[in-house]
Amino acid sequence: MELIQEALKGSERAIARLITMVENEMPSWRETMRTIYAHTGKAYLLGFTGPTGSGKSTLVDRVAHLLCTNGYSVGIVAIDPSSPFTGGALLGDRIRMREVVTHENVFIRSLGTRGGLGGLSQATSDVIKILDAAGKEFILIETIGIGQDEVEIAQIADTSIVVSVPGLGDDIQTIKAGIMEIGEIFVVNKADREGADHVVTMIKAMLDVHPLSDAWQQPVIKTVATENGGVDELYENIMLHRKYLLKSDLLAVKRKERIGREITRLLERRIAQYVHNQMKEIGSLEDLVEEVTRRETDPYSCVDRLLPLVEKK
Ligand SMILES: Nc1nc2c(ncn2[C@@H]2O[C@H](COP(=O)(O)OP(=O)(O)OP(=O)(O)O)[C@@H](O)[C@H]2O)c(=O)[nH]1
Ligand SMILES: [Mg+2]
């Protein structure tokens, strides 16, 4: 309780300790999140997704810096599918996020993706809530674009920024159609390299084919993150999109959808854990596997047999 109070006041130490608690799903985790939840809903969430090495961390650093300069308090969550949060990537990100670590009101945390399907686990969403409750006005979430992750980031963020770079080979492969529908702002970073204009043209052409269902015109912005090039324009467009969502009431709609998904996800997880525990009590899965292997029964019938046992418990 004391820890929560400290975190709500913005204590970095308390925030860090709470995050460790939810990451490890300590027994008091759910109770903690319940208390925290009442204080959430104020932060604006920015998602950055894109291929490895495209410059996401550098961009996050620069945008965070601008936010700080404009008086906002900022939290950063980096989701790293390749290594746990204590791994080398954190160090790398810390080094790259040079600008922001000098601001004392920025809190940076790297997270592994274990636990949840598709990468952005429950822990991520809980960490975002802790930062939100602690008074961070903007929370920047960095994730690598693989498979489901980019769709998940769109669901978790208020504004989704899709980062591309020139020179990744086959253009169609680089910018998949699916990603066109989730990006609200497109960035072509490393515009100091050859081929940036071509990528911009390509993205614009694809946006014509896959427009958003609402009235927002997705901008395509060239940046050179390392030189701060185009970052002001990116910042302005983030603020424009935020204004657009607020004015059109779409922000409220987005957030309600997010709450609906979260309730469903938490329920599914609880049910899955319950079934898993019941399975252990009901009997040996190996026996069933043997029966199926001998073709004495089949997986479908096994489930029919198990379901009443699970339901009764
Ligand atoms: N030439 C050039 N290099 C850049 C630019 N932006 C970033 N870089 C460099 O590209 C490398 C990768 O940048 P990061 O910001 O770490 O990229 P990332 O997308 O966060 O990488 P991961 O987190 O590993 O997926 C670093 O060496 C950056 O200095 C740019 O605009 N131009
Ligand atoms: Mg990074």
Tens digit of each residue's pLDDT (9 = 90 or more) over 29-41: 889 999 999 999 9
Distance 57 CA to ligand 1 centre (A): 7
Distance 50 CA to ligand 1 centre (A): 11
Q: Where are the alpha helices (DSSP H) in 177-298?
A: 177-180, 196-209, 231-248, 250-282, 285-293
Q: Taking 80 as the threshold, does the pLDDT of residue 186 lie above it? A: yes
Top mutation candidate among 95, 142, 226 for ligand 1, by most atoms within 8 Å of CB: 226
Q: Return the SS3 of 209.
A: helix
For β-strands 220-222 and 185-188, DSSP reports them as parallel
Q: How is the beta sheet containing 185-188 ordered, strand by strand?
A: 106-111, 74-79, 138-144, 44-50, 159-164, 185-188, 220-222
Q: What does the pLDDT average to over 85-106?
A: 51
Ligand with the closest atom to the CA of 81: 1
Top mutation candidate among 48, 49, 57 for ligand 1, by most atoms within 8 Å of CB: 57
In the structure encoding, which two tokens stand for residue 89, read together? 């990537």
Do residues 157 and 185 touch, judged by C-beta distance below 8 A?
Answer: no
Q: Taking 50 as the threshold, does the pLDDT of residue 175 lie above it? A: yes
| Ligand 1 pocket member 86 (CB < 6 A) | no
Strand-pairing partners, residue 107, are 75
Do residues 35 and 2 touch, judged by C-beta distance below 8 A?
Answer: no
| Ligand 1 pocket member 52 (CB < 6 A) | yes
Q: Taking 70 as the threshold, does the pLDDT of residue 277 lie above it? A: yes
DSSP code for 118? T
Share of the chain above pLDDT 70, in %: 81
| pLDDT attached to residue 90 | 43
| pLDDT attached to residue 72 | 95
Domains of the chain, with CATH numbers?
38-248 (3.40.50.300), 262-312 (no CATH)
Distance 79 CA to ligand 1 centre (A): 16
| pLDDT attached to residue 239 | 98
DSSP code for 224? B
Residue 125 to residue 141: CA distance in whole angstroms: 10
| Ligand 1 pocket member 222 (CB < 6 A) | no
Q: Where are the alpha helices (DSSP H) in 134-195?
A: 149-156, 171-174, 177-180
Which of 49-58, 81-90, 241-250, 289-298 is predicted with the least confidence, judged by mean pLDDT?
81-90
| pLDDT attached to residue 53 | 85
| pLDDT attached to residue 89 | 40
Distance 93 CA to ligand 2 centre (A): 6
> Model confidence at 248, in pLDDT bands (50, 70, 90)?
very high
